[in-house]
Amino acid sequence: MTHWWVDRPGELEQLVETLATEPSIALDTEFHRERTYHARLALVQVAWRRADGGTNIALIDAQAIDLRSLAPILRGEATIVMHAASQDLEVLAGACGVLPRTLFDTQVAAGFAGYSNPSLAALVHGVLGVRLPKGDRLADWLRRPLDAEQLDYAAADVAHLLPVHDWLVARLEADGRTDWARDECAELLRRAAVPRDPDEAWWKLKEARQLRGRSIGVAQAVAAWRERRASETDQPVRFVLPDLALVGIAHRPPADVDELRRVRGLDERHLRAGAAKEILAAVAEGLEMPRERLRLPPAGEVDRELRPAVGLISAWVGQLGRTLGIDTTLLATRADIEALLRGVEDARLTTGWRAEVLGEDIRHLVAGRAAIAFDGNGRLVLEDR
């Protein structure tokens, strides 16, 4: 697959100048983060249209060039077309210092066109009938030079994004769902722009919701310390302190180094370079943490009388998704339904297109003004009472 390899500053400047007037640009990244906290960006793939209707492709060596030169393209007028962009956005923000001004995520948009969370290969084949080359999932993108198979695979990731974008735009316009997809892509950008809060890192623990009393403060303080240290030393959080050890510390806070060493899951390597002292300081901070400083995960129990409604509404949402040809997870997750029933002010089902499509209907249902029934053909429908 023909492409332009870019590994010199002057070539990147030329590429940026070429892209400056493009209305839509396809973009993808290849990166590693298995042994680091911050992603190591290896490659940025870019595609744009040729005058004859074909596609130009550039592969930018992120190890050889300062990618901040791409910032004017990202924050310019062009629509940046990506697929499953969440992680790529984080990586781009770190490398370029900015996020795209306008994003079109083909995976998100495909959800409004009847595709359920499709891979890029499935979407390209479904829309264009083209099969993408299979790549090695464990390929080393940081190695140089990249071999021909890697280059073809990387180029293929953006080669068909713009035709897929065009098909999805036409489909969304025909179905009246353009604004829905635009809102979802804007929400992706909004979430990507919010930095990680170390005080919320403990939410990721599987046992987080089982913690009680002072264990919550200890988990919050130690997990926040772990997050900051992982960022400073650029290593995965599990290398700094395993989850098993963190939960053990939260359940039975150690008072000294000897007790700390007896925590299951801790090795001497986790206590080096002053880590033992810092962990104990975090434990002490957590034990004394006032209630107003606790950062609790967004949760809460649905009122007892409404709990049966969650399963019933979930079943109806699934049916509605099939009827409308929309990925059910885009319509509403179980957490979305529970948030609405708990009366959370900024619940996703209270605003925008979701409120119009199903949020108000759910309110009518729980208020007794509507009912869910079978329509005689095995489908669930919402009826006025």
Kindly list the catalytic residues.
28, 30, 88, 153, 157
Distance from C-alpha of 153 to C-alpha of 364, rounded to nearest angstrom: 50
Amino acid at 376: G
- The sign of the torsion formed by the CA atoms of 361, 362, 365, 369 equals negative
SS3 384: strand
Secondary structure element (H or E) that encloses residue 262, with its range: none
CA distance 67 to 74: 11
Which one, of 288, 274, 216, lies nearest residue 249 by Cα?
216
Q: Could you tell me how many helices (H) and strands (E) the chain has, helices first? A: 18, 8
Closest to 43 measured CA to CA, from 32, 34, 53:
32
Give CA 138 to chain center in angstroms: 21
Which of 305, 312, 316 minimizes the C-alpha distance to 382? Answer: 316
What is the H or E stretch that residue 114 is in? none
Cβ-Cβ contacts under 8 Å for 317 (sequence gap 6 or more): 328, 331, 332, 337, 358
Query: Is residue 81 helix, strand or coil?
Result: strand
